[in-house]
A = this chain, B = another copy of it.
């Protein structure tokens, strides 16, 4: 993983469907060298594949972030609420005004609202801010 590989990956991050020639020009390498390197990056598993990025509306379901503020002395005591919700993908304790940032992906807006109400029923939770995801610009998580 030298600077050439870095440059190649950087180029592919911006547009995975561009010609090897174009990448080679940016990386200051011959096209065959870049071609070989990409092949190797694929074979060694550094590159797992290439994905098309669709506008959020084309995907089934709704994604959202919940900002959570609670009054539990320890976060751990409230996390089990989110562990019980299968739609929750991540839950992070963060710095700032709010305590937790929860990322969910629900099959429908109705279900999303249901989840929000379910969270709201818990008395330890003081405040919920909902942020519906309207567009996905970058996703390098690989799921």
Residues on A lying within 8 angstroms of B by beta carbon are 9-10, 12-17, 45-56, 58, 63-65, 75-76, 79-80, 82-84, 86, 88-96, 98, 100-102, 129-143
Which of B15, B101, B130 is close to A65, meaning CB atoms less than 8 Å apart? Answer: B101
A93 proximity list for chain B (CB < 8 A): 56, 133-137
Interchain CA distance A50-B54 in the complex, whole Å: 9
Q: Contact: A50 with B94, CB < 8 Å? A: no
Nearest CB of chain B from residue A112's CB, rounded to whole Å: 12
Q: Contact: B9 with A54, CB < 8 Å? A: yes
Given contacts A13-B83, A88-B140, A90-B136, 10 further A-B contacts (CB under 8 A): A9-B52, A15-B49, A16-B49, A45-B55, A51-B139, A65-B92, A92-B135, A93-B134, A93-B136, A100-B137
Stoichiometry, as copies per complex, reads: 2
A134 proximity list for chain B (CB < 8 A): 92-95
Q: Which 8 A-B pairs have the closest CB atoms?
A: A16-B50, A93-B135, A91-B138, A12-B52, A94-B131, A91-B137, A48-B53, A17-B50
Q: Contact: B16 with A79, CB < 8 Å? A: no
Nearest CB of chain B from residue A81's CB, rounded to whole Å: 11
Q: Contact: A94 with B54, CB < 8 Å? A: no
Which residue of the partner chain B has the closest CB to A44? B55
Interchain CA distance A119-B53 in the complex, whole Å: 23
